[in-house]
């Protein structure tokens, strides 16, 4: 019988690191005046790390913990963007006031070790 403990340990460490990155991103967004509407929003169509609102803008935020900004930007592939967009569509169907009365966008927060997180507003455009 094979021992999966090292693999399980590394997966658990990665999960904890990801949770800490999401927490750092949430702190940054709050400091910038955003109100958190949802965290770790799981839907049958995908997951959104953080949903925030400021004024008349609602942003669906993906958080990437990477060693540098370039790696963070490259980590968000088209397939993942599509899943985020589908999850956002479901969120808006369940919360129609945000779809009607707010501007919508997709943001990215890159969290790097021992550096301030970087918030990239409107990280990609969506055809609506």
Length of the chain: 128
86's enclosing H/E stretch is: helix 78-94
How many Å apart are CA 98 and CA 87, to the nearest integer? 14
How many Å apart are CA 43 and CA 34, to the nearest integer? 22
Per-residue tens of pLDDT for the chain, all 128 residues: 455 566 688 888 878 888 899 999 999 999 999 999 999 999 998 899 999 999 999 999 999 999 998 888 888 899 999 999 999 999 999 999 998 889 999 999 999 989 999 999 998 876 55
Task: Bin 97: left if φ > 0, else alpha if -120 < ψ < 50, else beta.
Answer: alpha
Domains and CATH numbers, the chain: 5-124 (3.40.1350.10)
Other Cβ atoms within 10 Å of 85 Cβ, number: 18
């Amino acid at each position: 019988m094979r021992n999966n403990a090292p693999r399980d340990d590394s997966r658990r460490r990665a999960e904890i690191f990801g949770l800490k990155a999401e927490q750092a991103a949430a702190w940054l967004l709050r400091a910038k005046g955003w109100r958190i509407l949802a965290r770790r929003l799981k839907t049958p169509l995908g997951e959104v790390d953080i949903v925030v609102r400021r004024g008349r803008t609602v942003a669906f935020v993906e958080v990437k913990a990477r060693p540098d900004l370039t790696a963070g930007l490259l980590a968000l592939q088209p397939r993942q963007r599509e899943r985020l967009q589908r999850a956002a569509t479901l969120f808006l169907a369940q919360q129609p006031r945000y779809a009607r009365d707010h501007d919508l966008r997709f943001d990215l927060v890159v969290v790097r070790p021992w550096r301030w997180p970087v918030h990239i507003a409107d990280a990609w455009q969506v055809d609506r």
